[in-house]
């Protein structure tokens, strides 16, 4: 009798899982691209004539093309924060353009766009520029970096931490710097000088 109930319970669980998988398979793929300094007329499917963007045009042709959009900010960090959390960045202190060693400004406990998608059965990933901070304020680039995009709802991440003009200029895959060499550790400071190389501020005569 116990075996019969266990088998029935197992079958119910399997049927439920199959329904979830089937419903997830019927959902469309979602590719969300956010780009700095890209205007409405900078891709050819929106009217650009001097620049051709065939790959973006194909995505637009196979998906949904929006013609009325608004941003909460004209800069990177606050617009990304608002998009992922649904909260106006100006309502939360510390959401301005971040330095390269800033802590993660999105609370891992709050609902985010990727976490909502995960709860709906999607696999989620973030690739490219991040610029929303990493770690808890005591960031060591030579060890495991947490929290990261993976803690706010992304199953996978391959990111540039901030911008290409803010050190360290590295790729971070999930929780670790790609190609990290233990014999050549990364040292970063936005408060004091690292090493003994001359700087433009100290040696303006060396600038050209």
Composition of the chain by helix, strand, coil, percent to 5: 30, 5, 60
Which two structure tokens, joined as six digits, stand for 163? 């911008």
Exactly one of 6, 131, 169, 175 is catalytic; which is it? 131
Count of Cβ atoms closer than 10 Å to residue 153 Cβ: 22
Count of Cβ atoms closer than 10 Å to residue 82 Cβ: 19
Placement of tokens 């909460």 in the chain: 72
- As a three-state string, the secondary structure of 15-72 is HHHHHHHHHHHCCCCCCCCCCCCCCHHHCHHHCCCCCCCHHHHHHHHHCCCCCCCCCC
Specify whether the CB–CB gap between 186 and 177 falls below 8 A: yes
Please confirm, yes or no, whether 131 is among the known catalytic residues. yes
SS3 of residue 177 by DSSP? strand
Please confirm, yes or no, whether 175 is among the known catalytic residues. no
Exactly one of 6, 45, 76, 175 is catalytic; which is it? 76
Specify whether the CB–CB gap between 91 and 130 falls below 8 A: no
Placement of tokens 């929780």 in the chain: 175
Residues noted as catalytic: 76, 131
């Amino acid at each position: 009798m116990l075996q019969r109930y266990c088998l029935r319970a197992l079958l119910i669980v399997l049927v439920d899982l199959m329904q979830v998988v089937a419903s997830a398979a019927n959902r469309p793929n979602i590719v969300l691209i956010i780009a700095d300094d890209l205007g409405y007329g900078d891709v050819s499917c929106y009217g650009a004539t001097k620049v051709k963007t065939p790959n973006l045009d194909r995505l637009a042709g196979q998906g949904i093309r929006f013609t009325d959009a608004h941003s909460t900010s004209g800069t990177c960090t606050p617009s990304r924060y608002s998009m992922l959390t649904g909260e106006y960045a100006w309502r939360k202190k510390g959401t301005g353009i971040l330095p390269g060693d800033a802590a993660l400004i999105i609370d891992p406990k709050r609902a985010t766009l990727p976490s909502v998608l995960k709860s709906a059965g999607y696999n989620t990933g973030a690739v490219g520029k991040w610029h929303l901070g990493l770690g808890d304020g005591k960031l060591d680039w030579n060890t495991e970096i947490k929290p990261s995009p993976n803690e706010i709802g992304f199953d996978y991440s391959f990111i540039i931490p901030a911008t290409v003009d803010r050190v360290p200029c590295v790729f971070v895959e999930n929780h670790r710097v790609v190609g990290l060499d233990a014999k050549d550790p990364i040292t970063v400071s936005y408060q004091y000088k690292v090493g003994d190389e001359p700087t433009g501020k100290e040696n303006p005569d060396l600038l050209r």
